[in-house]
Amino acid sequence: MANRDLLTKIDRNAAAIRAYRPLSESEIRELDAYYKIGTTYSSNALEGNSLTISETKVLLEDGITVGGKPIRDCYEATGHAKAYDYMLTVARGGELSITEDVIRRLHRLFYHGIDLDAAGQYRTGQVFITGTEYVPPAAGDVPACMAAFVAELPQKQETMHPVEFAAYAHRRLVDIHPFQDGNGRTARLLMNLILINQGYCIVSIPPVWRHDYITALQQAQRKRSPSDEAFVKLIAECELEAQRDYCRMFHIKLPTVQKDGQEL
């Protein structure tokens, strides 16, 4: 399915979901807890964290660590959960305004249990992304790159579909790679901040899609004919899956449209 058709389907689904709202306070709490566990597990698993989704649930809900698991994996889970809570606060705070401080705080909350000195701080050395020819900017260029990045976001928001915009913000932050570590998780939190603020569902990228996720990013970062098309498509498909899951939980019937004899 072409990206245009995916985005059209997403908007139809979003309209059906919005028609069901507002949710009760208890439903919101339940939904927030559900997504916190799911996004924390999947985002960490994409980066090699060994905690299962059930182990993540026990850690976040009961504070019980799993024997034999690296302590760093536990800190990644608890830190991501704190960053997730902050992300929701910003996303629900009214008109969208993404600043360097918001991005740095997302990273600081996620990373403070792992390396307090590096949490929320731009890197001071060069980083390399394995498996790709792309090289992020030099450390000395990061502040200027980040200032330019947040400055361009309002214009991008005006001209792009919200799902495209969320994918773009994710991809550009990963391009800059402003932190020594934790860039992917910060980028995915930023992406979901945008989606929630614009009335869409939280996206979780399944760990089994890791290869497709990395390949799509590489296509956007290549020197010759870079293209965001595959990455936008992947994020759009994840959004559709999130909408289906949301509607399953609340028994919402999704609209269907036929095109050329096929259901869209």
C-alpha to C-alpha distance for 65 and 185, rounded to whole angstroms: 21
pLDDT the model gives residue 130? 84
Q: Catalytic amino acids?
A: 177
Query: What's residue 9's pLDDT?
Result: 96
Where does the pLDDT of residue 67 fall: very low under 50, low under 70, confident under 90, or very high at 90 and above?
confident
Given a cut of 60, is residue 223 above it in pLDDT? yes
Q: 3-250: which CATH topology?
A: Fic-like fold (1.10.3290)
Domain ranges of the chain: 3-250
Decide if 191 contacts 182 (C-beta within 8 A). no
Q: What residues contact residue 222 under an 8 Å CB cut-off, 6+ apart? A: 133, 134
Q: Which one, of 125, 107, 112, 123, lies nearest residue 190 by Cα? A: 107
In the predicted structure, residue 162 carries a pLDDT above the cut 70: yes
Counting residues of the chain whose pLDDT is more than 70, the rounded percentage is 97
Please tell me the predicted confidence (pLDDT) of residue 255. Answer: 85
Q: How far is CA 192 from CA 84, 134, 179, 187, 243, in A?
A: 9, 25, 19, 9, 13
| pTM for this model (two decimals) | 0.95
The rounded distance, in Å, linking the Cα atoms of 146 and 69 is 35
The pLDDT tens digits of the residues spanning 90-107 come to: 999 999 999 999 999 999
Give the pLDDT confidence of 200-215 residue by residue, as tens digits.
999 999 999 999 999 9
- Band (pLDDT 50/70/90 cuts) for residue 220 is very high
Structure confidence at residue 222 (pLDDT): 93
For the chain, the average pLDDT equals: 95
Q: How many CB atoms lie within 10 A of CB 131?
A: 8
Residue 263 scores a pLDDT above 80: no
Instruction: Give the pLDDT score at 23.
Output: 95
Q: Per mean pLDDT, which range of 45-54, 156-165, 248-257 is the poorest?
A: 248-257
Band (pLDDT 50/70/90 cuts) for residue 256 is confident
